[in-house]
Homo-oligomer: A and B are copies of this chain.
């Protein structure tokens, strides 16, 4: 069995060699050099390209073997046929981590070349390898960024607590782009492609132990080693929320997965069993993957499943109550004392039930009273605050009001921001203040359900 080596050099290297570095804009070797030289990376960069003397103003080496310093990470973006030889040189130099960006291996049916590379990987067990056929790694904290797409096409998100693992590079990059637009932070991102060495299980294990990662979100098409994946899920599924979207759960999808990452997509039954037997969280669709990731990143652990709805629009309150029942959650019943306290500060026509309807002339003060009491009440586990900003009696200081109430994170609190551009302004302001927002009741309730389920499962698994 090959010796397990820590993966930290992929994420926190001090010295990086870019093999296939280039001065020519548009090429992968150019963008990757640019990321390391002009980006946030503070370590030392060594371009490797025998055809040039200087690249990005730095001395270019003809081979990694010519570099005197120790190299922590080599990024390989040369034509496929050169990769086995280059990997061998990395092995000779005892480089602990390599990322092979280059495509043209088993995913295109090039099995001979793939076998050749596999042999080299086996020969140098201390040289770990991500890829080939991948985008590689992004670490928002150290500035490692092997994504060969310019920032104007693919925004880089800010630092955050969610780490993403994606077998598909394109899907992974779309996730990054989406997170940037929404203002969500990312800790680490890995597109691992054909996974000839480092696979999803290794990455999950690493991120589960990583202090800068609070939530792990995974897109995968196939699993290289089912037993290993199951053990990893069992061992780490309780440590942190690990949300998994599985592509190729149907006949149609799994056929497509075979041509994509050469994955033999496991049957959906096996995965259903996996989700049952471990605390792994299933996302059935992309939207769920996004919603659940940001929910776990933002919300604290709930004590139970009783939700209080606070709204200024009756219709939205009703739809949310419907969703709560349909998702197996419960409407909270506030204590008589809480209700008295709230009623004392409300007009007689406000409906102090659940949903609590502050009505179409709701004010910031009414929201403050209601939310404060719901957060204090022992019989309320989570709070959904629905705001229709069209109400003329509301003003923009609703944002700092809610942000303040949410700051201590006593209980999970979700805001459903309803409407168009005017609402959107407030939604973004709330998100900046750390308050999670949804546009629709059902998506909000589903996310709270999954939050509650994870912590229940975790408790159960920890007991056993």
A residues with a Cβ closer than 8 A to B are 26, 108, 149-150, 152-155, 166-174, 176-182, 219, 221, 245, 247-253, 255-257, 259-261, 284-287, 312-319, 321-326, 331, 349, 351, 353, 355, 357, 360, 388-392, 418-424, 439-443
State the CA gap A318–B166 with chains docked (Å): 14
A252 touches B108 (CB 8 A): no
A260 touches B314 (CB 8 A): yes
State the CA gap A210–B165 with chains docked (Å): 52
A177 touches B422 (CB 8 A): yes
* Residues of chain B contacted by A360 (CB below 8 angstroms): 169-170
State the CA gap A286–B166 with chains docked (Å): 30
Residue of B nearest to A313 (CB): B170
A353 touches B259 (CB 8 A): yes
Q: Say yes or no: A257-B318 contact (C-beta < 8 A), given A173-B388, A442-B286.
A: yes
B441 touches A351 (CB 8 A): no
A177 touches B316 (CB 8 A): no
Q: Say yes or no: A149-B355 contact (C-beta < 8 A), given A181-B420, A325-B251.
A: no
State the CA gap A250–B26 with chains docked (Å): 56
Can you report 12 A-B residue pairs in the complex whose CB atoms are below 8 A from each other? A149-B390, A155-B421, A170-B314, A170-B360, A171-B313, A181-B419, A250-B322, A250-B325, A253-B319, A260-B318, A285-B440, A285-B442
State the CA gap A226–B326 with chains docked (Å): 24
A326 touches B247 (CB 8 A): no
Q: Say yes or no: A318-B180 contact (C-beta < 8 A), given A170-B312, A286-B442.
A: no
* Residues of chain B contacted by A26 (CB below 8 angstroms): 392
B260 touches A317 (CB 8 A): yes
- A150, A171, A257, A443 — which one has the most chain B CB atoms within 10 A of its CB? A171
B285 touches A316 (CB 8 A): no
* A170 partner, pick from B152, B155, B166, B315, beta carbons under 8 A: B315
Taking the closest CB of chain B, its distance from the CB of A207, in whole angstroms, is 20
* A168 partner, pick from B178, B182, B313, B422, beta carbons under 8 A: B313
Residue of B nearest to A260 (CB): B314
State the CA gap A257–B257 with chains docked (Å): 46
A247 touches B181 (CB 8 A): no
Taking the closest CB of chain B, its distance from the CB of A336, in whole angstroms, is 18
* Residues of chain B contacted by A322 (CB below 8 angstroms): 247-250, 252-253
State the CA gap A153–B108 with chains docked (Å): 54
B177 touches A318 (CB 8 A): no
B178 touches A419 (CB 8 A): yes
- A315, A323, A391, A440 — which one has the most chain B CB atoms within 10 A of its CB? A315
State the CA gap A392–B168 with chains docked (Å): 17
* Residues of chain B contacted by A171 (CB below 8 angstroms): 313-316, 319
Taking the closest CB of chain B, its distance from the CB of A429, in whole angstroms, is 16
* Residues of chain B contacted by A179 (CB below 8 angstroms): 420
* Residues of chain B contacted by A312 (CB below 8 angstroms): 170
Taking the closest CB of chain B, its distance from the CB of A316, in whole angstroms, is 6
Residue of B nearest to A191 (CB): B315
B250 touches A168 (CB 8 A): no
A253 touches B318 (CB 8 A): yes
Taking the closest CB of chain B, its distance from the CB of A397, in whole angstroms, is 15
State the CA gap A149–B152 with chains docked (Å): 39
A423 touches B325 (CB 8 A): no
A422 touches B221 (CB 8 A): no
* Residues of chain B contacted by A249 (CB below 8 angstroms): 322, 326
State the CA gap A245–B390 with chains docked (Å): 22
A390 touches B154 (CB 8 A): yes
Would you list the 9 A-B pairs with minimal beta carbon distance, nearest first?
A: A168-B315, A170-B313, A171-B315, A181-B420, A260-B314, A177-B420, A253-B322, A250-B325, A177-B419
B420 touches A155 (CB 8 A): yes
State the CA gap A321–B252 with chains docked (Å): 6
